[in-house]
Amino acid sequence: MKSWKRLIWAVMLSVALPLGLVYWQTSFFTCLLLGLWVAGVLAFSFFYNRRHFEEELRIQEKTLQQAANRTLNHHRHDWMNDLQVLYGYIQLGKRDKSVQCVERIKERIALDSRIAKLGIPSLVFYLQSFRTFRSNLELEVQVEEGLQLEDKLTPDQGDELTSVIMQTVRAYQYSGLMQQGDTRTLRIGFTQDGGDILISFESKGDHGNPEMLQGQIYNIVQGKIMKAEQWKPSEAYVELRVPLGM
């Protein structure tokens, strides 16, 4: 990135050479040279910027594809594990265990469906792909039945909401001290309260300085469409309210 910017600045500053010639000796030739030089610099900058952004777009597309593949592979691995456990119970004739296993599978399918119905692509992808990344934090997502956000928020507001959720999760992830190898669970709940949406974050365990965590979350939502409404330091619990009547 820095080398790209330096090259652009170097090309633009090169205009100083013909400009100095014009200042030193004004003539038709030096003015023509200055005009051609400036035109060349503008053309180079335009095509180089275009090429750079196309390359950036290809990198982002490749990164997204890799993340999608990791998510699909992780879900496939989970389903295979569940099916193997279910098959084992069936072979052993453990009907009660088989029924319990099927119920767990149904609950997971229902949860994935409720997450997908939130309707914000960036948010759905983040929640579905989080567990594919190696992290000391495990997300436990709860979504109220029938809750949909796609028709309640604009695309920009949806992306802003996703950004706030990601930053809040990161604040929980790096708050407090944990022994190496330990995993903390963060519960995220999506519910509707009248005309507003409530997003709750609850995590058990030692979070070091709760006031610092609270301050981080308040800074995250500052100037955004939502606000931090409720805080329980002893339980590391906070609610974000997203007003929909805007």
Tracing tokens 């691995």 back to the chain, one arrives at: 77
pLDDT in tens, 67-79: 666 666 666 777 7
**Amino acid sitting at position 163:** S
The neighbouring-strand residues paired with 191 are 198
**For residue 31, pLDDT beyond 90:** no
Q: Contacts by 109-113 with C-beta closer than 8 Å and gap 24+? A: 111/141, 111/142, 111/143
Find the helix or strand (DSSP H, E) in which 115 lies: helix 95-116
Handedness of CA 76, 116, 213, 203 (dihedral sign): negative
Residue 160 CB partners (closer than 8 Å, separation 6+): 224, 225
Q: In terms of Cα–Cα distance, which of 14, 30, 33, 12 is closest to 22?
A: 30
Predicted pLDDT at 86: 82
End-to-end C-alpha distance for the chain, whole angstroms: 39
- Buried b / exposed e over 178-207, threshold 16 CB at 10 Å, is eeeeeebebebebebeeeebbbbbbbeeeb
0.85 surpassed by pTM:
no
80 pLDDT tier (thresholds 50, 70, 90)? confident
Cα distances (angstroms) measured from residue 228 to each of 175, 196, 224, 238, 241: 18, 13, 10, 7, 6
pLDDT in tens, 209-242: 677 788 888 888 888 888 887 666 656 788 898 8
**For residue 186, pLDDT beyond 70:** yes
Q: Let me know: does 167 contact 226? Beta carbons within 8 Å.
A: no
Which pair of tokens denotes residue 119?
């309707």
Chain CA centroid to CA 120, Å: 11
**For residue 61, pLDDT beyond 80:** no
Q: In terms of Cα–Cα distance, which of 207, 187, 181 is closest to 139?
A: 187
Chain CA centroid to CA 217, Å: 16
What is the largest distance, in Å, between two alpha-carbon atoms of the chain?
99
